[in-house]
Amino acid sequence: MYRVKRRAVSGVQAGCSTADLKDQGIQCSYAKGSYKRDDKEKNFTSYDDLLLRYLWDRDYTLSWLKAEGLIASSRTCGTCGSDMKWEACGDRSDGYVWQCRKQINGKRHWCERSIREGSWFENANMTLEEVMKFTYWWCQDLDQWQIKKQLGIGSHAAVDWDMFCREVCEVTLFEKREKIGGPGKLVQIDESKIGKRKYHRGHVVEGQWVFGGIEEDSRKSFIETVENRTEETLLNLIREWVAPGTVIVSDGWKAYANLGKHGYIHKTVNHSIEFVNKEGFHTNKIEGHWRQMKAKLPSHGRKKEHYSSYLAEFKWRYVHRGEDLWKVFLDDVKRIYQLKLKE
């Protein structure tokens, strides 16, 4: 079972309305590198929908969260094994708590559990409403500073929750990973450097190498960080991600020279003289994929150990392009925390 690990974050103030966003000068569209879409045309959840349909009343919000499986709808007492009761509690920010006060052998025991326990909201020093607003704006691809200003949260809280959301993408893609390609399928592969240009003459190239592949006629793809571009490293990843019998198109990098000996049909494009070879093969799609990825990555504050989560977010958004990302994200959260909620 894979779970998102987190530490407690600082609290926030209540968010504001769409009109407030305009007053604050915040662009309510989409950040650089995102995929724009018309909410009304495709019936996506708007911010007004979020406020009026899901967050207009605390008790309604709690009922909706239970019905959606985002918080537990029942709990079992660890002491007596009985079903716990959902009780009002004025000293809790959520207003409710799970309680059991039954008698065992003539003695009454007291067992109490948070309604957030085991959920996406556990350990968050924010109201449930504020967490939902943060995830909504994150799914709309607003920059971190925009969400921070919108919700009135501190920098550490914004950084933490941005990371938590990326980790959901990372776990989701890990659980749903599958090989791409196969007989009759064409996959373009390539490596790219995050940081400086791949062929930046006269300068030491710093940053992180990534390696990936993408099917020519679908959105199926893979992206991995790599420490080097040796034949052993790249071939192991190709075997892991690309099904035998696939037509693989690459540039002339020497690490790909023996792909034909490992069950693949290999086609090359010599980028020093052409971008489309004589047979009509090219790597335009994977090259475009890199451009989109680099546009999406933050330009400042990137740590090398977080590259995999940034790549996971990019791929998650790419795979679900054209869908209501907020609803997709909530479905992923429900799946990740489902078993834990049943404990």
- Quick check: 262 and 235 in contact, CB under 8 A? yes
Specify whether 130 is located in the same domain as 215. no
343 pLDDT tier (thresholds 50, 70, 90): low
What's the DSSP call for residue 50? Answer: I
Q: Does a structural domain hold residue 49?
A: yes
The pLDDT assigned to 306 comes to 81
Specify whether 62 is located in the same domain as 99. no
Q: Does position 9 have pLDDT exceeding 50, yes or no?
A: no
Element (H, E) at 31: none
Q: Does a structural domain hold residue 51?
A: yes
**Looking at residue 293, which CATH number applies to its domain?**
3.30.420.10
Return d(Cα 75, Cα 108) in angstroms, integer: 18
Distances (CA, A) of 21 to 24, 50, 119, 126, 330: 5, 15, 29, 20, 24
Specify whether 221 is located in the same domain as 147. no
Pairing of strands 247-250, 265-268: parallel
Residues contacting residue 100 through CB under 8 Å, at least 6 positions apart: 77, 79, 80, 82, 84, 85, 109, 110, 111, 112
Average pLDDT over residues 1-14: 40
Q: Does a structural domain hold residue 175?
A: no
Least confident range of 34-43, 75-84, 294-303, 327-336: 34-43
Which residue pairs from 296-299 have beta carbons closer than 8 angstroms and sit at least 24 positions apart in sequence? 296/32, 296/33, 296/34, 297/33, 297/194, 298/144
Query: In sequence order, what are the beta bridge partners of 215?
Result: 187
Specify whether 93 is located in the same domain as 147. no
Q: Does a structural domain hold residue 343?
A: no
Residues contacting residue 64 through CB under 8 Å, at least 6 positions apart: 54
Specify whether 226 is located in the same domain as 272. yes
Specify whether 264 is located in the same domain as 142. no
Q: Does a structural domain hold residue 327?
A: no
pLDDT, one tens digit per residue, over 261-270 is 999 999 999 9
Specify whether 93 is located in the same domain as 51. no
Specify whether 197 is located in the same domain as 279. yes
Q: Does a structural domain hold residue 332?
A: no
Average pLDDT over residues 96-104: 89
What's the DSSP call for residue 297? Answer: S
The pLDDT assigned to 42 comes to 63
Q: Does a structural domain hold residue 46?
A: yes
- Quick check: 259 and 276 in contact, CB under 8 A? no
Statement: the pTM of the whole predicted model exceeds 0.85:
no
Specify whether 25 is located in the same domain as 148. yes
301 pLDDT tier (thresholds 50, 70, 90): low
Beta strands in the chain (DSSP E): 85-88, 96-100, 103-104, 107-108, 111-113, 186-195, 207-215, 221-226, 247-250, 265-268
pLDDT, one tens digit per residue, over 158-201 is 889 999 999 999 999 999 999 999 999 999 999 998 875 445 45
pLDDT, one tens digit per residue, over 238-259 is 999 999 999 999 999 999 999 9
Q: How many domains does the chain have?
A: 3
Specify whether 97 is located in the same domain as 56. no
Average pLDDT over residues 98-109: 85
The boundaries of the domain holding residue 42 are 16-68+123-153
Return d(Cα 324, Cα 40) in angstroms, integer: 11
The pLDDT assigned to 2 comes to 40
Length of the chain, in residues: 343
Return d(Cα 207, Cα 308) in angstroms, integer: 13
Q: Does position 333 have pLDDT exceeding 90, yes or no?
A: yes
Average pLDDT over residues 203-224: 84
342 pLDDT tier (thresholds 50, 70, 90): low
Q: Does a structural domain hold residue 193?
A: yes
Specify whether 248 is located in the same domain as 146. no
**Nearest partner of 2 among 315, 337, 327, judged by Cα:** 337
Specify whether 140 is located in the same domain as 235. no
